[in-house]
Structure 1
Amino acid sequence: MLGRLYFNKGGNSKWMATLVQCAGFPIMFPFIFLFTPSKTQQEHHPQVAGKPSWTTVVILYTTLGIFLAADCMLYTFGLNFLPVSTYSLICASQLAFNAFFSYFLNAQKFTPFIANSLVLLTFSSTLLVFQSDSEQTDKISRSKYVIGFVCTVAASAGYGLMLSITQLAFQKILKSTSYIVVFDMTLYQNVVASVVILMGLFASGEWKDINGEMRGYESGTASYIANLVGTAVAWQVFTVGYVGLIFEVSSLFSNVISTLGIPITPILALVFFDEKMNGVKVMSMLLAIWGFVSYIYHHYLDDLKEKENARLVNLDCEVNLMETSRVSQ
């Protein structure tokens, strides 16, 4: 919503809109100091064997950072050329891409409920291709709409791949049991991404227009700065959240939770941006919600199964203890 507001009120720099998605990393520093284990904690909780070398870690964070910069730019093009409600619904396809990559990279098992969820979310996004030309406003040509659609789908695919790679990095490379690794992952890849985007900002020459863009912003200079700062902070909070869920559970679960905003964003866009909610968008939103519920139900069944298995294991332990006790008597 803040990203769309930036363009609606007179923001034009795609590099600046991309930069704020990564440049909020300084707010990570207090958390890194807070979660860094003390020497006493390190003695009681030694690092897992096979700690990666600095070279491996640098290559990992640099690769993820460059990947993040490219993905953020694709998202920016999509947000600039599409209504925010359409954009958010297309972003639901990232769950399908993430499941596909998780199958190959993270040994994710597929169940009928997951398959159903992926099919529905794929149809939900594809359905938006068939919107009538009347949906396009005078400010958005058909060619820009297509570019925005393609960029958003590509960004969603890249995001899904990045989540799977992040999970793989936690499991196979970093192998840390400390939550500090979540803030390290968030910080370093955003630092690299910010450097790459800044290079693009200066190389493109858009930095020369930032001052004029700020003065010409419809809501004023203060609103312009507040929008960029708010966007930067919101993106960092989101990043820590999804990386933390990958660390604790899985990339696919993290992605499912992030899709909770799907039914909210189109409604907010209707209220604040006066966007149209036609039948195609409503159908797309319903399919996306159905796909999300299907996946959540899958996790509910898995949770019940795990609890039942744990109960059986405890019961077996109790029986074995009783038998051992009888034998000793």
Structure 2
Amino acid sequence: MGEAQHLPSEINGPKTEAAISPNNNTTSSSSSPSFIQYKWWIQMLIYAFFVIAGQSAGTLLGRLYFDKGGSSKWLATLVQVVGFPVLLPFQLLNKNNHITTGTSTTPPPKKPFPYALVGFYITIGVFLAADCMLYSIGLQYLPVTTYTLICATQLGFNAVFSFFLNKQKFTPYIFNSLVLLTISSVLLVFQTDTGDSNKASKSKFTIGFLCTLAASAGYALMLSLTQLAFQRIIKKETLRAVVDLTVYQSLVATCAILIGLFASGDWGKLSAEMEGYKSGRVSYVMNLFWTAVSWQVFSVGCTGLIFQVSSLFSNVISILGLPVAPVLAVIFLRDKLTGVKAVAMLLAIWGFVSYMYQHYIDDLKIKEENKRFCDDDDDEHVSEVGLVN
């Protein structure tokens, strides 16, 4: 597989594509390196916002579901993946993005059935269903601070998986970012939530701890495998590819969870659960609906960051959003904003800035290389003109 087929899995900034063909010496302004770099940064910021906003809203709504009387782990798991229909209109984007040349009416050759791609969708979908169930159990049995702390361990797992599967490179700024983001989440364990410490028995606390730890490791592995799939199976760097992956893996996960929901008998208890919901039936339905939408927004942002940068960067943005949830809880759930939470947020922002600074340095290097390439190309063109004259 040639180098042009690889995604920017390391910290290399945006890819730049030459818009000069052998038969055309003019370069499109819309394909200039500067335009491509700006477009890359805008896309990256949008995906990062999706990750933080979707994760924060989904976590708060999931916490609210259990606090107000919800008890079905299968339903709490289902809403994490069932919102994929809201993304179906985006699959129409670039559907006919192909170029026809000349007046030839010869139909394009048929492509072989993508067995590898379908197999990946099914595998990653089942894996996603199991991982979401583990997260649901952890969120139900653990205090919010402990749950958040354990979720931060996914950075360490992802660093290991990225090193072996994606050949992730580390720099001092990257290492500094990982340390700061991990510490910001670790600090939250010192913030006790009133009424949460005795929420679960010791046995349930242990189960929740182990499930959340396994879920964090599984999520980190999913990110690395997704990046690997973009490189070797999907081989497309388009919004359509991101949406396709999100939709199909969510569809498979939804089917798997629905089987568990009906097989466990939980589906028969949902009507009584809705009637007994403390905020009412409408609030119950709206909670489930917006939870589903929030996690789909998170999935699109997460997958987009994987092929725009790397699985490790996607995980860093996800970790950045962990301290955001406690701050939003102050506004929406009337939680108390303490000094520990404020420090955790500042450290998370510091870590994020450190990581972004590394990308800024890489971006400057790319600009220098592009400028040097253009200067060399101009010199070569002048030399050819002189020889012709």
Smaller-chain TM-score range? 0.7 to 0.9
Q: Residue 16 of structure 1: CA displacement?
A: 0.2
Let me know the Cα RMSD of the aligned residues: 2.9
Contact 2:152 2:186 in 1 (8 A): no
Match of 1:22 in 2: 81
Tell me the distance in 2 between the aligned counterparts of 1:276 and 1:137: 16
Q: Give the Cα–Cα distance (whole angstroms) in 2 for the partners of residues 14 and 184 of structure 1.
A: 27
Say which SS state the counterpart of residue 78 (structure 1) adopts.
Answer: helix
- C-alpha distance in structure 2 between counterparts of 1:319 and 1:97, whole Å: 49
Gap runs ≥5 in structure 1? none
CA distance in 1 between counterparts of 2:177 and 2:160 reads: 12
Return 302-311 or 65-74, whichever deviates more.
Answer: 302-311
Query: In terms of mean alpha carbon deviation, does 142-151 or 250-259 score higher?
Result: 142-151
- The 2-side partners of 1:133 and 1:178 are apart by 43
1:61 paired residue number: 121
Superposed displacement of residue 194, structure 1: 0.8
The residue type equivalent to 1:243 in the other structure is T
2:334 & 2:205 partners in 1: Cα distance?
18
The 1-side partners of 2:149 and 2:89 are apart by 35
Partner residue of 1:3?
A: 62
Q: String of CA shifts for 1:29-70, please: whole Å, max 9, x gaps.
A: 2222344226xx2646xxxx9x77432222111110011011
User: What CA deviation, in whole Å up to 9, does each residue of 1:152-176 have, x standing for no partner?
Assistant: 3322221121111111111101223
| Cα shift readout 1:116-145 (whole Å, capped 9, x = no counterpart) | 222333444455566679784342445544
Residues 152 and 277 (structure 1), Cα distance of their counterparts in 2 relative to 1, 3 Å cut: farther
1:261 positional shift: 2.3
State the partner residue of 1:212: 272
Residue 159 of structure 2 corresponds to: 99
CA contact (8 A) 1:93 1:121 kept: no
Using the alignment, how far apart are the partners of 1:63 and 1:20 within structure 2?
20
Separation in structure 2 between the aligned mates of residue 260 and residue 208 of structure 1, nearest angstrom: 38
CA distance in 2, matches of 1:280, 1:77: 26
Residues 209-218 or 55-64, more deviating: 55-64
**Residue 201 (structure 1) aligned with residue 261 (structure 2):** yes
Query: When the two structures are superposed, what TM-score results if normalisation uses the length of structure 2?
Result: 0.74
| 1:161-200 equivalent positions in 2, closer than 5 A | 161-200=221-260
1:316 maps to 2:376: yes
1:77 aligned residue = 137
How do residues 133-152 of structure 1 correspond to structure 2 at under 5 angstroms? 136-141=196-201, 143-152=203-212
Distance 1:228 1:162 in 2: 25
Letter aligned with residue 24 of structure 1: G
Which structure shows the bigger proportion of residues in helix conformation? 1
SS in 1 for 2:197: coil
Which is further off, 130-139 or 6-15?
A: 130-139
Q: Is the 8 A contact 1:82 1:145 kept in 2?
A: yes
1:135–1:276 contact (8 Å) kept in structure 2: no
Q: CA 1:24 to 1:132, structure 2 compared with 1: closer, same or farther past 3 Å?
A: closer
Q: Is the 8 A contact 1:87 1:152 kept in 2?
A: yes
CA contact (8 A) 1:84 1:269 kept: no
Distance 1:248 1:291, change over 3 A: closer
Structure 2: gaps spanning 5 or more residues: 1-59, 102-108
Matched-pair contact (CA < 8 Å) for 2:145–2:189: no
Q: What residue number does 1:121 align with?
A: 181
Distance 1:207 1:20 in 2: 14
User: In 2, Cα distance between the equivalents of 1:52 and 1:276?
Assistant: 58
In structure 1, what is the Cα distance between the partners aligned to 2:141 and 2:354? Answer: 31
Report the alpha carbon displacement of residue 93 of structure 1 after superposing the two structures with TM.
Answer: 3.5
Equivalent residue runs for 1:229-268 within 5 Å: 229-268=289-328
Aligned: 1:36 with 2:95: yes
Q: State how many pairs are aligned.
A: 323
The percentage of counterpart residues that share the same residue type is: 58
**Counterpart check, 1:110 vs 2:170:** yes
Amino acid at match of 1:5: L
CA contact (8 A) 1:89 1:288 kept: no
The AA in structure 1 aligned to 2:91 is I
Q: Give the C-alpha shift of residue 10 in structure 1.
A: 0.7
Distance 1:147 1:305, change over 3 A: farther
Output the CA distance in 2 between the equivalents of 1:85 and 1:227.
22
